[in-house]
């Protein structure tokens, strides 16, 4: 097709936004090919004879202009594939992966570009500040792309990377298809005894959207969570558990989405590529650009935490089993009963039901309170974009963050609700980052995506659980990290260049405000009467904060240890070895028998198709940082302006322009303290 008429290439002004409704699948590959071709041409010109006389700053600025152009073309496509997945978009997206992989590898192995940057860096000598961080990242990326390999080994690296990219995408597709591939219509409401009215409303709406009468069960997480937590029928809980934990596996009804072979192949490709680069295993390669020094340090951190957590977790499990036997007539509590028993015990122990707090968490009130919190802490305002913006779905809204003079400094798309053809989970991603070149500054733009419970057909606004509010605040924390940056080099602005095991600090930090009465009073208002959250109800909620917290952390330790052992294991000869590694971890971390049919690993997208391979420990690692960071507010005052200013300037604004450890020490005045995590988690 004629690329001149391709809207993906019509980036326009620096701060223009994509016209999502005009993006067609057939435009994607030609647009990407055109950008890659243009970028290669410019890079070859850059490393020509004249580049020797250009400064390191100027060379990096030119390279980042090319990176920015590619990101602004590719990001909308990648995002559509995640939030409005269609066969056509998926095919176009998949067709682009080998092109991107080949381009990235070629850039990382470009001897002329490597020499150009290295020479310019040597001429500067003592490189300082953000430029030092950018330069070091480039040098590390050259190493990770095999710049020092022989030509034959570089070709091998390129082939491994291309296949790995394809398989990781296929893994994610299979999870989505397997999730959407099962549903069950319930016509007898008595089968759903125990489910709260809000969950029943969601199921009825889902059925009507399919032209059905009754209540439609699906494997979308809000539905699964509601059934596994509230359904009185143990058989129904078992069915939902079985369907959910066998997705994309040999244990599901539809084997076409089985990820087993892909997982084995992904792990082996990672191992082969890591060894090709000279690393002992993939974990060593993954940690090359992280805070943690090596796999031993990570495993020591995780096993040390396990030793502190497990005794309390065993006591929590003992209480659950005792309650199940004595009160619920479940003498042999199964794993699919655990959430249900825990909810019942919580209701009895604290006279509290999660559902009863939802009327105080209506969507507009929560958003207004979140934005008010940002204003109080950092002095920035958030408002709905004044001009109409073309979005991918009617539910999506676009907001601006305004500085103290009312000038826009960032924007974000907010996509809150679960729906068909949308990837599960919650995440923040970037359309583009802050970037200054030729006296023009590109404003950062974020995508904030959740899968919260949508409004039903009752006419009520969307009402969230407290956990859903926490999820929203978490993702908004990532967004603030991306959007409030003051770094002007693209590679270190916002979350760019931040060590992966520190990137969760601002997001987990934001979760704390969902537990403080002073901040809850900003938004926890009854959707009908406008009355604030009663103190009695707040106290009930607060008492549940650490309920089963050790069991929850034990689950996170299971994921993190499995991930790290998996990526230090070496090549996998058969799928069973993956299951055996998980089984050995579970011998340390699980306190209820896990059924042999459980295939949780087959849908563990974080490590098989996301960015958390040999990095899932980051959630717990960063939680030490975030708990300790919030501790300073607890010491000085929740809205202490000096503390808020320090967090803004030393953490959020710095982005990846300096090591995360240095940023934390500048903010806290010392090294992080693991005791803050244990205290915040109620671990004694």
Task: Give DSSP secondary structure letters for 553-573.
Answer: HHHHHHHHHHHHHHTTS---S
Check if the beta carbon of residue 465 is closer than 8 Å to that of residue 360.
Answer: no
Burial status of residue 202 (CB atoms within 10 A of its CB: 0-12, 13-18, 19 or more): buried
Task: Give DSSP secondary structure letters for 575-604.
Answer: HHHHHHHHHHHHHHH-SSPPPTT--GGGG-
Q: How many angstroms separate the CA atoms of 651 and 55, rounded? A: 29
Q: Which of 539, 27, 614 is nearest to 271 (CA)?
A: 614
CA distances from 120 to 56, 115, 137, 155, 588 (A): 5, 8, 15, 27, 52
Instruction: Find where tokens 């016209």 sit.
Output: 19
Catalytic residue among 475, 504, 511, 650: 475
Q: Where are the alpha helices (DSSP H) in 259-404?
A: 260-276, 282-286, 295-326, 338-350, 363-378
Q: Which two tokens stand for residue 122?
A: 């040597």
Which residues, in sequence order, are bridge partners of residue 440?
437
Which residues, in sequence order, are bridge partners of residue 532?
525
Active site residue 457: no
Q: Which two tokens stand for residue 39?
A: 């970028």
Neighbours of 335 (CB within 10 A): 18
Sign of the CA dihedral 507, 508, 514, 518?
negative
Sign of the CA dihedral 577, 582, 588, 590?
negative
Which residues, in sequence order, are bridge partners of residue 452?
417
Check if the beta carbon of residue 512 is closer than 8 Å to that of residue 636.
Answer: no
Check if the beta carbon of residue 541 is closer than 8 Å to that of residue 549.
Answer: no
Q: How many angstroms separate the CA atoms of 524 and 522, rounded? A: 6
CA angle 387, 392, 396 (to 5 degrees): 60
CA angle 563, 297, 591 (to 5 degrees): 50
47 phi and psi angles, rounded to 5 deg: -85, 10
430's CB contacts (< 8 A; 6+ apart) are: 71, 75, 444, 445, 446, 447, 482, 494, 495
Check if the beta carbon of residue 6 is closer than 8 Å to that of residue 31.
Answer: yes
Check if the beta carbon of residue 130 is closer than 8 Å to that of residue 488.
Answer: yes
614 SS3 class? coil
For the chain, how big is the Rg over CA atoms in Å?
25
180's CB contacts (< 8 A; 6+ apart) are: 218, 219, 420, 421
Check if the beta carbon of residue 451 is closer than 8 Å to that of residue 223.
Answer: no
Burial status of residue 517 (CB atoms within 10 A of its CB: 0-12, 13-18, 19 or more): middle
Which residues, in sequence order, are bridge partners of residue 186?
215
Q: How many angstroms separate the CA atoms of 189 and 168, rounded? A: 40
Check if the beta carbon of residue 382 is closer than 8 Å to that of residue 400.
Answer: yes
Q: How many angstroms separate the CA atoms of 212 and 214, rounded? A: 6
Active site residues: 475
């Amino acid at each position: 097709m004629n690329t001149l008429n391709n809207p993906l290439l019509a980036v326009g002004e620096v701060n223009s936004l994509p016209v999502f409704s005009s993006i067609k699948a057939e435009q994607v590959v030609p647009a990407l090919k055109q950008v890659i071709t243009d970028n290669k041409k410019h890079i070859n010109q850059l490393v020509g004879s004249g580049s020797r006389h250009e400064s390191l700053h100027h060379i990096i600025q030119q390279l980042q202009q090319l990176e920015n152009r590619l990101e602004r073309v590719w990001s909308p496509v990648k995002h559509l594939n995640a939030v409005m997945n269609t066969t056509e978009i998926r095919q176009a997206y998949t067709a682009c992966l080998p092109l991107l992989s080949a381009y990235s590898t070629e850039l990382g192995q470009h001897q002329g570009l490597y020499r150009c940057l290295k020479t310019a860096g040597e001429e500067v000598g003592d490189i300082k500040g953000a430029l030092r961080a950018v330069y070091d990242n480039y040098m590390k990326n050259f190493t990770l792309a095999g710049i020092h390999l022989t030509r034959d080994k570089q070709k091998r690296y390129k082939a491994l990377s291309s296949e790995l990219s394809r398989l990781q995408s296929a893994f994610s597709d299979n999870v989505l298809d397997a999730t959407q591939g099962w549903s069950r219509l319930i016509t007898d409401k008595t089968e759903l005894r125990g489910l709260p009215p809000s969950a029943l409303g969601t199921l009825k709406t889902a059925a009507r959207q399919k032209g059905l009468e009754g209540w439609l069960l699906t494997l979308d997480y809000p539905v699964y969570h509601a059934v596994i937590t509230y359904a009185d029928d143990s058989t129904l809980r078992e069915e939902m558990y079985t369907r959910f934990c066998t997705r994309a596996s040999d244990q599901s009804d539809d084997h076409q989405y089985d990820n087993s072979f892909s997982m084995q192949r992904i792990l082996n490709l990672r191992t082969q590529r890591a060894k090709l680069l000279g690393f002992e295993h993939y974990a060593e390669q993954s940690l090359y650009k992280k805070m943690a020094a090596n796999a031993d340090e990570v495993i020591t951190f995780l096993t040390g935490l396990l030793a502190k957590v497990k005794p309390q977790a065993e006591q929590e499990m003992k209480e659950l089993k005792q309650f199940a036997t004595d009160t619920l007539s479940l003498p042999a509590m199964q794993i699919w009963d655990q959430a249900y028993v825990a909810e019942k015990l919580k209701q009895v122990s604290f006279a509290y039901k999660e559902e009863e707090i939802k009327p105080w968490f209506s969507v507009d009130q929560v958003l207004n309170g979140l934005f008010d919190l940002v204003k109080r802490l950092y002095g920035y305002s958030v408002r709905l974009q004044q001009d109409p913006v073309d979005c991918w779905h009617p539910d999506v809204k676009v907001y601006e963050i305004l500085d103290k003079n009312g000038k826009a400094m960032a924007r974000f798309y907010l996509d809150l609700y679960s729906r068909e053809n949308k990837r599960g989970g919650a995440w923040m991603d970037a359309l583009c980052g802050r970037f200054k070149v030729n006296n023009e500054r590109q404003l950062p733009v974020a995508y904030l995506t959740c899968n919260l419970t949508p409004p039903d057909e009752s006419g009520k606004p969307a009402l969230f659980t407290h956990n859903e509010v926490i999820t929203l605040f978490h993702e908004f924390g990532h967004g603030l990290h991306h959007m409030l940056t003051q770094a002007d080099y693209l590679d270190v602005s916002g979350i760019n260049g931040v060590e992966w095991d520190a990137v969760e600090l601002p997001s987990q930090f934001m979760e704390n405000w969902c537990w403080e009465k002073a901040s809850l009073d900003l938004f926890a208002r009854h959707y009908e009467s406008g009355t604030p959250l009663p103190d009695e109800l707040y106290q009930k909620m607060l008492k549940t904060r650490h309920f089963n917290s050790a069991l929850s952390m034990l689950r996170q330790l299971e994921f993190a240890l499995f991930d790290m052992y998996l990526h230090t294991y070496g090549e996998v000869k058969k799928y069973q070895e993956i299951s055996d590694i998980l089984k050995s971890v579970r011998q340390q971390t699980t306190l209820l028998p896990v059924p042999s049919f459980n295939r949780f690993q087959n849908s563990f997208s974080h490590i098989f198709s996301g960015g958390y391979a040999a990095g899932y420990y980051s959630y717990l690692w960063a939680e030490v940082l975030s708990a300790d960071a919030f501790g300073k507010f607890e010491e000085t005052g929740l809205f202490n302006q000096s503390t808020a200013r320090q967090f803004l300037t030393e953490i959020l604004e710095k982005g990846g322009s300096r090591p995360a450890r240095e940023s934390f020490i500048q903010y806290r005045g010392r090294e992080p303290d693991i005791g803050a995590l244990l205290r915040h988690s109620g671990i004694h």
